[in-house]
Chain A
Amino acid sequence: MSHLRVRTREGGGGISVVYVDGYLNSLLGEEMERAVYDVVDAGGAGVVLNFEGTKLINSIGISFVIGIVERMRERNSTLAFCSLKRINQELFQMTGVSRYVRLFDTEEEALVFLAQSV
C-alpha cells in the first residue's frame, strides 16, 4: 500500500504511531526523525515508534533514536517503543536508551500506556 519506509498513523488521543521499516541507518534515521518531529510540531501528545519492520539498527540509527528521546524529554512529550526484535531490544539496553523509554511487545500495549500517561 505504501512505498514509504517511515509511515505515520494516528493512534488516537493525539498519539501517533510511527512505523520504521528496513535498515535503520542514517538515511532512515533522518526520515524517522522528521516523521516524529512532524508529529510533535503539529502538537501531537505522544509518539509510539513501531520497530516491527526494522530489520537492523546500526549505531548511527541508534544515535537518531537517542536524539529523538532527548528532544521528546525536552518537550515533555511522551514516547514509547514497540514490537522490537530481540537483538534491537538488546541494542537499546546496551546503549541505555531503554532506561528512558518504555518498550512494549505490541502496539496496543504501547498505545494504552501512552493514553494513560498523556
Chain B
Amino acid sequence: MRLLWSHGAEFSFRPGEFFGRGEELSALLRVCLEGKSGIGASVLIYGPPNIGKTSLLLKLKLELQSLPETSAPPRPFPFYYSFSKILSHPLALSQHFLQEYLWQLLVFLGESPPASFDLEALCENLGARGHMECRDFMSAHRRYSEKGDGLSALANAFSFPFATGGNLWYPVFLFDDIQYTIKLQNISDGAIFSILRPYIKSGHFPMIVSGSSPGHVTSSLKREGLYGSFQLVEVGGLSPAASVKAWVPLFERRKIRMPEHLMGRAAARLGHVPIYQRMFAEEVSFRNGQMEDEVGFENLYALSVTEGKLNRYWREFFENAIPDRVNRARAIKFLKRVICDQFPIDTFEGAFSLMGISPEEGGEILSALEFKGLLKSDFEHIQFIRDPVLADFLYWAFERGVLGKNTPQVAASIVQSKISRAPLEEGREEHEKSAGVAKEMMRRWDCREVPALLFDFGRFREKFRGKGLLEIVIGLEGDPGKVKLPKISSVSTGYRALRGGSRFDFDLVAYGFREGDFSEENLVIWAVDVHTEKKIASAAVEHFENRCRLLSLEKGLKPGQLAKWILFEGAADPSVVDLAVRYGIHLTHRTQMRLFLNLFGMEELEKGQEETRPPEPRGGEKPLEFELVLPMKADTEVVAARVAEEVAAYASLDKDTVDRIKMAIIEACINAFEHSGSQTGKVRLRYILSPEQIELFVQDDGKGFRPSKGDDDAKRHRGWGLKLISELVDDVDITTGEHGTTVRMVKHLRSGHGEGSTTSNDEGQ
C-alpha cells in the first residue's frame, strides 16, 4: 500500500470512493471559479492526518477539470502540488515545482508530455506547440541554480505560473502538505507565502492550501499580513450517514457482505475516516473474513489494528514521524496515555512531566507530533486529536512493547472491551459540550465567592421552586451561605474507564489552591462528573462516590481536600439528592449552572430551553431594586448589559428600548473603567425598576471623569460615551464627590415624559 505522505501526482485517488463533503466541495469550487472575475479568495484547509484533506483537493481538481468546455475562457487550471515530496533544499524544490507545473499543464492542455521528467524537454514541448515561451524563465532559473541562490530560484519558480495562461486559463493552486515548507533549509518560515503574497491578494489566483499543523501555517500567514485573506476550513471525519454510504462501493467491488445494522457501528469504530474504511475493506477482502455479527466485525477490526493494515499504517506513520527509536517509544508511551487512556493533559508543562523528560527533549517530540497533525497548539494550550483507531493502535503498541503481551492477547482484549462496551453512547456530544463549558468556567474561578446554593440542588429547589429568574438572583444574593472557590491551576478533561487501571475516571479534574496560595496544604482537587441524561440515577451517584474514594486514597488526600461535584441536566429524585448530600457531593442542576455561568460572564449552555421569565409585567407594585458589583476588567460591561436586559425583560419592554438601555449601561461602565482611576477596581451598579421608569446607577470610587483630552491618534475619536448615553436614555445625572462618581440614567417607561437630559456636577456629593 502506498503511504499517504508519499502521495502527489501518483497518489491513487479513487473518485468512486469519495463520499460526503459536498458542502466543502461546493464552497471550494465557488472560490476557485471566482478567480476568473478576480474575486477569488484563498482557503486554508486543516485537520488531522489521513482525514481526507488530500482526497478533497484531488476531488476538487477533478471537478475543475471536468467543467464543461463551453464556458468562456479563461478556464481554471487546477494545479495540485504536494510539498511532502520535496527535499528540504530550496533549489530542489524550485526544480521539482517547475517540472510538476509544466507536466500537469501539458496534460491539462491535452498534450502528451514527454516520457522524461526533464525540465528543458517539457519546456520545449510547450513552446513547440505554440502554447507559450518559457525559455527566459528557465534560463533565469538555471542561473540562480548555478549560483546556489535558493531564494531567488524559488521566487522564480513560484512566480512562473502567473506568467502563463493569458486569456486562456488561469492557475488554481491546490497546495498540499504546506507544513513542509517550514523545513526548507536557509529559507525563513513563510517565504513561500511572501513570494505568493501579491498573487493571493490580487484575487485572480485562488489558492487552496492544505496542511496538518495549522499553527505553523497561520503564524506564517499572520506575519505576511495574509491571515485576513484566508478562510479556514477544518476537515474532520465524514458525517455518519456519508460514511455508512461509503461502505457500499468498497464492499461491492470486493464482494464483501456486511449486515446493514453493522455498518454504522463499523463506520463509527473507524472514526468515520474514509481512508480507514478503505483499508479495512481491503483487510477483510485479503483475509476473506466473515462479518455476520458484532463479534465477527470486532475480531476482524482487532486483527487489522494489531497485525494487519491499520497496524502497519500507524507503525509506518510513527517510524516516519520520529525516526529515533528511543524518542519514538517515548512518544508512543506518552500518546497512549493521552489519546487512549485520555489522560488529562492540555498544557506543554503537563505533557513534559508525563513524559518525564526535559522540556527540550519533550518539545522535540511534541513538535514532531504537531507537524504530523496529531496535536494542535494554541499558545500554552495543546489539544490532541481523537482517533479511535490510533487509540487502539497505541494500546497495542503499549501492551506489547511495555508489558510484553503477545498480539493475539492484545487483540482479544480489544475485542472484549468493544463488545462489552455499550454501542456508541448517545448524547455524547451534548455531554462533551457541557463538560467543556464547565471546564472553561472553572478556569476563571480565581478565589471568587459564590452563593453556596449553587452547589446545593436540594436546598435550591426547595427555596426557589416556581420562582422567576430575578427572584432567584435576589434570593441568592441575600443568602448568607457562600463558598470561596479556589484558584484553579489546571483543569482537564478526565475520562471514563475504558480498560481497567483508571486513575482519573472523571469528566473533569481540576487542581486548585485555596486563597490562591500555591502550597501543599492549600491544594484542593475538584472531581467533576457531568450527566446529560433525562434522569440522574442513584447508581451514578454511588459510582461517582466510589471513584472519589479511590482517588482520595491514591492521592493521600486529607478530608476537605477533595471536592466532589456532579453537574446534571435532567430530573433528580429526592432519594438521589439525599444520597449526594449524605456523601457530601455538590449537586448542580442546569438551571443553577446558568446562574453560575452568568457570574463569570459566560454564555448559557443553550438558549431558549427553559426560560424562567415570569409571564406578566409587575405594574403597580413598589420599585424593585437590584445591585451588581463588577470588576473593572475588559468586557465585564457586557455582564452589566445582560443584567439590564433581564431587568428590562421583567417589565416586558420592547426590544428597542432594551437595546438602548443596554448600550447606555455599557457606555457608563466603560467610562468608569477608563476614567475613574478607582483604587478598588470595582464598579457598583443599581437597577431600580418601577412601573413608571427604569433607573440605572453606575457608581465608582474614583476621582470623577471628564471627557478625555488626549488627542493622540488612537484616542482622537473617543469621548462618545457621555454623548451617547444622553441620546440613549431620557435623563442623565452625573454627580462627582470625594467618594467617587455616580452616573444616574433614567428611561421612562410610559409615554408623555420629557426627552431632555441634564448633566450636573455636584461637588458636595
Cβ-defined contact, B635 with A10, below 8 A: no
CB of A38 within 8 A of CB of B228, answer: yes
Pairwise interchain contact B720-A87, C-beta atoms closer than 8 A: no
Complex Cα distance, B717 from A64, in Å, reads: 8
Q: Which residues of B contact A85 (CB under 8 A)?
A: 659
Q: Are A7 and B231 within 8 A (Cβ)?
A: yes
- A9, A11, A27, A35 — most chain B CB neighbours (10 Å): A9
- Binary contact track A58-93/B, C-beta < 8 Å → 1, others 0: 111011101100000000000000000111001100
Q: How far is the CB of B154 from chain A (nearest CB, A)?
A: 22
Tell yes or no: B201 within 8 A of A by CB: yes
Residues on the B chain within 8 Å of A10, using CB: 34, 38-41, 203
Q: How far is the CB of B662 from chain A (nearest CB, A)?
A: 7
Partner of B724, one of A4, A12, A59: A59
Q: Is the CB of A25 within 8 A of B635?
A: yes
B635 and A95 form a contact (CB under 8 A): no
Interface residues of A in 1-28 (CB under 8 A from B): 1-4, 6-14, 23, 25-27
Q: Are B229 and A38 in contact (CB under 8 A)?
A: yes
Interface centre among A34, A57, A66, A94 (most CB of B within 10 A): A94
Q: Interface size on B (CB < 8 Å)?
A: 39
Count A interface residues, CB 8 Å.
Answer: 39
- Nearest CB in chain A to that of B667: its residue: A59
Instruction: List the count of A-B residue pairs having beta carbons below 8 Å apart.
Output: 91
Distance in Å: Cβ of B535 to nearest Cβ of chain A: 36
Complex: chain B residue closest to A12, CB-CB:
B39
A49 to B662, CA, bound (A): 23
Interface: B637 (CB within 8 A): yes
**Residues 13-27 (chain B) with a chain A CB within 8 angstroms:** 27
Q: How far is the CA of A95 from the CA of B727 in the complex (A)?
A: 10
Q: Is the CB of A87 within 8 A of B666?
A: no
A59-B724, A60-B718 are known contacts. Are A35 and B232 too (CB-CB below 8 A)?
A: no
B225 at the interface (CB under 8 A from A): yes
* Interface class of chain A by DSSP: mixed
CA distance A66 to B716 in the complex (A): 10
Residues of A within 8 A of B662 (CB): 56
**Smallest Cβ-Cβ distance to B232: which chain A residue:** A2
Question: B634 contacts the other chain (Cβ, under 8 Å)?
Answer: yes
The answer for the CA separation of A34 and B203 in the assembled complex, in Å, is 18
**CA of A26 to CA of B718 in the docked complex: distance in angstroms?**
11
Cβ–Cβ contact A58 & B39, under 8 A = no
Check B659–A62 contact: CB distance below 8 A. Answer: no
**B670 is an interface residue with CB less than 8 A from chain A:** yes
Q: Which of A1, A10, A38 has the most CB of B within 10 A?
A: A10
Chain A CB within 10 Å, residue with most, of B228, B229, B231, B637: B228
Q: Give the residues in chain A near B203, CB-CB below 8 Å.
A: 10, 14
Contact partner of B717 (CB less than 8 A), chosen from A4, A27, A67, A86, is A67
Whether B228 and A8, one on each chain, are in contact in the complex, defined by CB atoms closer than 8 angstroms, is: yes
A58 in complex: contacting residue of B228, B659, B660, B667, CB < 8 Å: B667
- B621-677 with Cβ < 8 A to chain A: 634-635, 637-638, 641, 656, 659-660, 662-663, 666-667, 670
In the complex, how many angstroms separate the beta carbon of B719 from the nearest chain A beta carbon? 8
B498 in the interface (beta carbon within 8 A): no
A residues near B287, Cβ cutoff 8 Å: none
C-beta contact mask, B6-47 vs A, less than 8 Å → 1, else 0?
Answer: 000000000000000000000100000010011111000000
B140 at the interface (CB under 8 A from A): no
Extra contacts besides A9-B231, A58-B637, A66-B717 (13): CB < 8 Å: A1-B231, A10-B34, A10-B39, A13-B38, A26-B634, A34-B228, A56-B641, A59-B670, A60-B670, A62-B717, A67-B717, A87-B663, A94-B723
Which chain B residues have a beta carbon within 8 Å of chain A's beta carbons?
A: 27, 34, 37-41, 201-203, 225, 228-229, 231-233, 634-635, 637-638, 641, 656, 659-660, 662-663, 666-667, 670, 715, 717-721, 723-724, 727-728
Binding site for B on A (CB under 8 A): 1-4, 6-14, 23, 25-27, 34-35, 38, 42-43, 56-60, 62-64, 66-67, 85-87, 90-91, 94-95
